[in-house]
Amino acid sequence: MQATTSKVSGRDAALAMIAQVERQATGISKRYAGGTGITDRYADFQTFIGQLGEFQLFIDMVENRLGAFEPEKQVAQAKNLAVIRWGMLQMEVEASSIFLDRMIASGKPWPMGSQPFLRRRLSRLDDISSFHTDHVTQYQLTAPNAAMMQKIRDQIGQQIDSSLALNDFSIASAPSAFTPAPLQAEPVRRPAPKPKAPPPPVAKRVMRLQVREADGYSYIAEDGLAVITEACKVANTSIDEFAKALELSRPGLVLILNGRDPCSTALLKTLRRLVVRAGGVV
């Protein structure tokens, strides 16, 4: 009886989340479909991309809940979510094309940090094409707008050199010209102090990203924020820049790294790659 009640509760929770996905998709479409809300402001478009990224992450979370349904309903709900996701991806392509048209027409200079953002737009086209290829047969997805996607590639290719990367502060400034010091009296010579014994070696803390499983979800352990912050320092970047690269808001990423929100499989792989590249272990 208890198992049956738990299964019904899980199914109700999954249905509520699916309904939320549908409402959010409708809301985003009303705000941005057809170019509505897309301006020639780089910051506004970044905000739009961040919203889409969080929405896609939310769909990942809901897909992890489909195990609460019977097999036939799992298939139906998986198709429903895939069709919604594909609609958002198509809108992302359309909005990207409109933004580039308006940004180029405005003649505004690209702001600092725009170069990696534009490069990410190119890789997103590859991600979108791969999603369609992987699911077109199973879910009968509509074809992507190949002409529009090629136009975006061409526009970014033309604009990438005029966009700006983030400043590199790792190179020290050139030393100033040498100015000889004024002559001084010869200092009094004192015997050199005895060398001190070297301090005992301190064991280096191993950088490791801990993960726990709960209710079918993966959660980062509470020290995840500290681990990723350390890994970002080794990679010469910041949490803010890393969040932008993931197309997440900083608060959203922090909630995941603090173990408050579940972590999708794709994001977990990315976090682990960052830690390993920074010298940590998984």
Query: Rounded distance, CA 282 to CA 280, Å?
Result: 7
Q: Which tokens belong to 202?
A: 């301190």
Query: Rounded distance, CA 236 to CA 224, Å?
Result: 18
Query: Rounded distance, CA 32 to CA 38, Å?
Result: 7
pLDDT by residue for the chain (282 residues), tens digit each? 445 555 667 888 889 999 999 999 999 888 887 777 888 888 888 888 888 888 888 888 888 888 888 989 999 999 999 999 999 999 999 999 999 999 999 988 888 778 888 888 898 999 999 999 999 999 999 999 999 999 999 999 998 887 766 544 333 333 434 344 454 555 556 666 666 666 665 555 678 888 988 877 788 987 888 898 888 888 878 888 888 778 777 778 888 888 888 888 878 888 888 888 888 887
Query: Rounded distance, CA 253 to CA 47, Å?
Result: 15
Q: Are the beta carbons of 200 and 155 closer than 8 angstroms?
A: no
Query: Rounded distance, CA 114 to CA 133, Å?
Result: 29
- The phi and psi torsions of 38 (rounded to 5 degrees) equal -95, 115
In which residue are the tokens 């949490």 written? 239
Q: Quick one: pLDDT at residue 195?
A: 65
Q: Quick one: pLDDT at residue 170?
A: 37
Query: Rounded distance, CA 95 to CA 28, Å?
Result: 12
Q: Quick one: pLDDT at residue 191?
A: 64
Q: Quick one: pLDDT at residue 94?
A: 94
Distance of CA 156 to the CA centre of its chain: 20
Q: Classify the C-alpha dihedral 48-49-54-57 as positive or negative.
A: positive
Distance of CA 210 to the CA centre of its chain: 19
Global pTM? 0.60
Q: Quick one: pLDDT at residue 179?
A: 43
**281 strand-pairing partners:** 208
Query: Rounded distance, CA 91 to CA 87, Å?
Result: 6
Query: Rounded distance, CA 230 to CA 208, Å?
Result: 11
Give the strand pairing for 217-220 and 211-214: antiparallel
